[in-house]
Amino acid sequence: MSIALAEARREFLARCSALGVGATLFPGVLWAKVAAGVEITDASIVAAAEIAGVTFTEEERSMMLAGLKRQTAQLDALHKIPLDNAVAPAIVFTPLPRADAVPRGPQRPVRASRVTATPLPAAAEGLAYAPLTELADRVRRRQVTSEQLTTMYLDRLARLDPQLLCTTSLTRERALKQAREADAEIARGRYKGPLHGIPWGAKDLLAVKGYPTTWGTPPYKDQVLDYDATVVQRLDAAGAVLIAKLTLGELAQGDRWYGGMTRNPWKLDQGSSGSSAGPASATAAGCVGFSIGSETLGSISSPSTRCGVTGLRPTFGRVPRTGAMALSWTMDKLGPMTRSVEDCALVFAAIHGPDQVDQTVHAAPFNWDGDAPLRGLRVGFVQSAFDLPVDRGHATKPFDDAALTVLRGLGIDLIPVEIPEANYDAMRVILTAEAGAAFDELTRSGRVNQLVQQNVGAWPNTFRTARFIPAVDYINANRVRTLAIQQWDALMQKVDVIVAPTGSTQLIATNLTGHPAVILPNGFREDGTPVSLTFLGRLFGEEALLRVAHAYQKATPHHLKHPAL
């Protein structure tokens, strides 16, 4: 740092000290004092420029002063305009590398694989851990009623939630009404499909009319939205029965919310990870038939891994997010969390496609056939990630190596590939900036101090530091993202599906490029907790992705094991 710059910075910090702000709080000082009406001076420009990573001469700073004052007035005017979290920017992100990247063709009815008949359990609770495919078959054949399943799952939630802390509210009245309607429709021969009469749970960032939508944090604990999210509407139309709002780490981070820490059913002293903490915990614990989670940067992947469930993170632009809390408009994705790959396919079939509101969503067919062969599919594996030894961070190597053996045993000729090189970590400023914008009013009002978590890695600190990401750099990060999307497009021309260790670079990379992923259980550690494996697909390539993951899961027993609660 030059002597002049150091002196200017000291002068600015001295002024801050005189105003009662300590130097250790400097990252929030300039914005806070400007917002409070403190005059912008040459010293404050020097200090702000230092944070932005640029330097200007004295003459340049003098020229900037008037413009910055005008800009501050403009920003002040913007701050006075109320913006609901549901209002998206007038800039629509797409992960498409080219205009023809969205597949076209007819949408055909879902064809689930044949269910092997087994004796009906003596009590409905014997079906608690059954996959959706089995539940659907028994409801269709009227071996069990929707009301019986709904009552059973509601009772399990009431009994187990004190251990798991996986629900924010039960939607009992709504659920029982839906279940009775489903039973009446099925009795009249009006069967709607595999979700008809099946109880499910919604991550509590999805709006449900008449019930709190808390986003997992005290400032929104009493928030009741007067509409249903599109995904909720679509599952209602499919005949599914919503029985609970399930927890999320506050504002979609981690597994801690205003009610405590959501627990991993396999190890109750451990959190279920996040932020789709409740959906993973409740699904693993046999408290719902399936659930809906969301992912921005690992929020389906991480809790699916921790709790041993199967999660589908769809392509960005596949499932409408209308009525879901916005954290990052260019990275948020909604997807199913279930007890099997095929269950994910059945739920996804009901929720994908445009709703004419979320402008990021494209129309593309999803034609699921649970008995379709793998013939013709090219499957790659991230060789360097699999080759990484245990002592260099690859803790799941024995499980991952065994998975490759199983895949080869299915007749798959695995093709070695590598993740495209890019500075994915640098692009994380995109999420930080968008999250800061999504909760700007919360930060400026000071209500952010009501959040449960207030540490360095928690949202309050992130929202404050987001104020210092230059707009120019946010845009350029998205330009670098374009290059990454192009690199991934070139890679995915070579293969249809890629298998990768869950904890590898693929997680941040594909969340930025918008590629879909399936995360499924892949064994158990000595302490009984699950590990997972990840399959990646082409943009809008969920059909092939799920086919390969489904074949692998059928050849392994991991998803058939359940926690002993």
**Residue among 33, 44, 203, 301 flagged as catalytic:** 203
In angstroms, the CA 348 to CA 406 distance is 26
- The helix-helix angle for 506-513 and 471-492 (nearest 10°) equals 100
Tokens encoding 310: 């199967």
Cα-flanking dihedrals φ and ψ of residue 531, to 5°? -120, 170
- Helix, strand or coil for residue 433? helix
Q: Would residue 299 show up in a list of annotated catalytic residues for this protein? A: yes
Query: What is the Cα–Cα distance from 538 to 294, expressed in whole angstroms?
Result: 19
Partnered with residue 244 across adjacent β-strands are 170, 201
Region of residue 446 (left: phi > 0; alpha: psi -120 to 50; beta: else): left
CB 497 within 8 A of CB 381: no
Q: How far is CA 256 from the centre of its chain?
A: 16
Distances (CA, A) of 560 to 5, 9, 293, 407, 529: 64, 62, 21, 19, 14
Strands, E assignment, 414-509: 415-417, 497-501
| 504 is an active site residue | no
What is the Cα 483 distance to its own chain's centre?
23
Q: Given 44, 281, 291, 299, which residue is catalytic?
A: 299
**Cα distances (angstroms) measured from residue 53 to each of 426, 453, 523:** 14, 29, 46
Say which of 275, 294, 301, 504 is annotated catalytic: 275
CA–chain centroid gap for 302, Å, is: 9
Classify residue 50 as left (phi > 0), alpha (psi -120 to 50) or beta: alpha
Residues 321 and 234: beta-carbon distance below 8 Å? no
Please report, for residues 366, 369, 377, 419, 498, the alpha-carbon distance to residue 385 in angstroms, rounded to integers and kept in the order given.
Answer: 30, 31, 22, 9, 12
Phi/psi at 523 (nearest 5 deg)? 125, 180
**How far is 517 from 203, CA to CA, in rounded Å?**
19
In whole angstroms, give the CA distance from residue 565 to residue 555. 26
Please say if 203 is a catalytic residue: yes
Q: Name beta bridge partners: 310.
A: 338
Cβ neighbour number for residue 365 with a 10 Å cutoff? 14
Q: What is the C-alpha R_g of the chain?
A: 25
Q: How far apart are CA 9 and CA 123, in angstroms?
A: 72
Q: Which residues are catalytic?
A: 203, 275, 299
